[in-house]
Chains A and B, each alone.
Chain A
Amino acid sequence: MSAHQPTAAERFLQGIIPENPIYRQLLGLCPTLAVTNGMRAAMTMAGAGAFVLICASVLTSLIRGLLKPHLRILVFTLTIAAFVTIADRFLAAYMYAMSKQLGPYIPLIIVNCIIISRCEVCSSKQGVFTAAADAGGVSLGFALALASIATVREILGAGTWFGLRVMPAVWPDWVVMVLPPGAFLTLGLLLGGANWIRAAREKRRGASRAA
């Protein structure tokens, strides 16, 4: 293990943009493609994901001294599954219509690689405060990524944002954008755009260093 571990503030900031779980790590793409046809569904997924990620990270960090190397993945999965079930029941009780709309995607948070990767990379090795900051940053990054894709898809595909009409009445809804192909098109174009901006910035930085 390396001597230097990132601090809580570094972990938090890294998770948002520089190591964004969707745009930089390409993790958790199944919910990203599936629930971004509208902002409501996307933000519910982001909220449920954040709850599970923060709770699982804090708990993993608390018991990190007790983890056995060969049983750690089992412990992570068990912890994540417990919190996912709590989130699922909570949605069924208080957001019943949304719970039905998201269907199996809430239980499927159990196999979301973003969460298990944070347990493996950060919370099983660092203290509770750092683990919570890391989970908060990554959750924010996940939410921003979902929001960016859902915004494009809902506005172009349904003419609305959070269900409110934002496009003029003459706008012909591009229905394909709220269907599965729209998810791939939007993610592909936004991902390409994000990489292009990053490459351009690195080039500029390299040029200014050389000068």
Chain B
Amino acid sequence: MSGWRDLRSGWLVLALALFFGAALAGVHRLLAARIAANVLHETLSQIPALVPGADGGAPVDIRGRTVYRAEAAGRTLGWVVPSGGQGFADRIDLLIGLDADGSTLTGLYILGQKETPGLGNKIIEEPWRGQFRGKSTGQPLVVKKGDPSSGNEIRSVTGATISAESVCGIVNQTVAEMQAALAQATREEPDR
């Protein structure tokens, strides 16, 4: 019985939720293509920084996901793989730079994040994300509090261990899924 009373007094909340949901869906339809174009533009502009020596890149579909072939004078120098996963506050979206055979990370860029300002959002800064450059993909990366001692360790972010571990986890998983396929795609290239 009290259920009906709740529904009678709460109908406005339900109606507004439906109305706003529909309105946001409409806004998304209008703007999604433009936002995707902005993200694509940023991705392409980051390729030279993520794969040193590359002067541009082109999207390729490998194993059902879009990756970017980083090229210089028509030769594949490496790969930029967009990836993402859950962070502390919201989704974290990354661009992972790998060399041609996927054996070494050549760079990391944070495409989107909403981590805590001043703590978790330190992941976007070069001193932190630059640590990934030159790491071997032979074994998974682990987050270490304090100074890293061995080759596969990444320094944590003080006060934001979850953000740091999220990024490492996304990188490890993406590398595990894509490395073999990327190396193969490089080998199959006609002019190598």
A interface, CB within 8 angstroms of B? 34, 63, 66-68, 70-71, 74-75, 78-79, 81-82, 85-86, 89-90, 92-94, 96, 100, 103-105, 107, 180
Contacts and interface: CB of A to CB of B under 8 A. Distances in A.
B60 to A, nearest CB: 24
**B-side interface mostly:** helix
A34 B116 CA distance: 12
Interface string B16-53: 11001001100110010011001000100000000000
Contacts of A92: 31, 35, 38
A85 B24 contact: yes
A75 to B, nearest CB: 6
* Contact-size category for B: 20 to 34
A113 B72 CA distance: 52
A89 B16 contact: no
Contacts of A100: 112
A89 B35 contact: yes
A89 B28 CA distance: 8
Contacts of B13: 71, 74-75, 78
Contact of A103 (B17, B24, B28, B114): B114
Contact of A89 (B9, B20, B27): B27
Contacts of B64: none
B12 A75 contact: yes
Contact of A93 (B9, B10, B34): B34
B162 to A, nearest CB: 15
Contacts of B34: 93-94
Interface string B117-129: 1100100000000
B89 interface: yes
A81 B19 CA distance: 13
A63 B20 CA distance: 14
Nearest to B111: A100
A82 B114 contact: no
Contacts of A63: 12, 16
Nearest to B112: A100
A94 B35 CA distance: 8
Contacts of A70: 9
